[in-house]
Structure 1
Amino acid sequence: MKKELSRVYNILKKDISKVINQSKGNVEFHNNLRKYLSMIAVEFDYTGKTKYKIDSKKHIDVVWLDDLENVRWAFEIDGGQRKRSIKRLSDMVADNKIWIYYGNPNKLGDFIKQTDPSNSFLLLNLGNIRKELRKEVKLTNKISSRVTK
């Protein structure tokens, strides 16, 4: 698993700027990252699914399924410290549970200790990309307001 996780991280790290550049804001980034994670599942011989239903009210952002439709990887993607995402991952039956975080790292360690004392998932911290996304949106808004004047 460690080797596969390392591959996932390296692929994300290599292509994250493309995902950022295709996104106008946090919601679009989240959706694009979800689609991207689903697409790269094939590189690991899995089938990727987005918004995978756990029950009638809850879903996991992305899962990777094996040929027998067993969930091998479960991913939650967040730009903030969300307890419900951690709860979903904790409750999920999967070989690998990954929380992809792209928000402010302040007190992140404390948050994880409080919400997941059993260490039921691995953290893949992309750094504070939200800040970069906000800058990008502000720049785009400035440019478009100049063009329309």
Structure 2
Amino acid sequence: MLKDAFFNVYTKFKLHFYQEIFSRFQDREASLTTVETFCMEAIQALGSPTVNEFATFMRISPPNAAYKVNSLIKKGYIRKVQSPDDRREYHLEITQKYIDYYNISTAYMTAVMNRISQRFSPEECAKLEDMLTIISRDLMSEVEIPDPPPS
């Protein structure tokens, strides 16, 4: 069934990420908690949100969001950058430290995408891209994130 096949792919991506994280932190404590990892993924997906935009997206209170953001700032995974347009506003930006952490996940996705490109025809890959775009844009409207820059 399509549902089972999709669930298996999604689960394998998650489990590979967990395997890599645990193997890298086997001898030391992981620097991001599970909840902080979720927060970082949301901040990255949102681009450079404000604390309030992050709170709204995550459906948490602004004080709770500020607490989580401050913890992530202390750990060096994000920084607040003052908006050039509105000096009262600060946007959250991920740091290289998080990019290095996140690359554990993206490296595997890139490897799988390369395997897809080798295994399937350009037409099949284009169809998969079209289908994924429709799924993201039209069938998952509950989760609004900015479009990624073209690669």
TM over 0.5: no
Higher helix share: 2
Query: Greater CA radius of gyration, 1 or 2?
Result: 2
Higher share of residues assigned strand: 1
TM-score (norm 2): 0.30
Structure with the greater relative contact order (CA < 8 A, sep ≥ 6): 1 or 2? 2
The two structures have a TM-score, normalised by structure 1, of 0.31
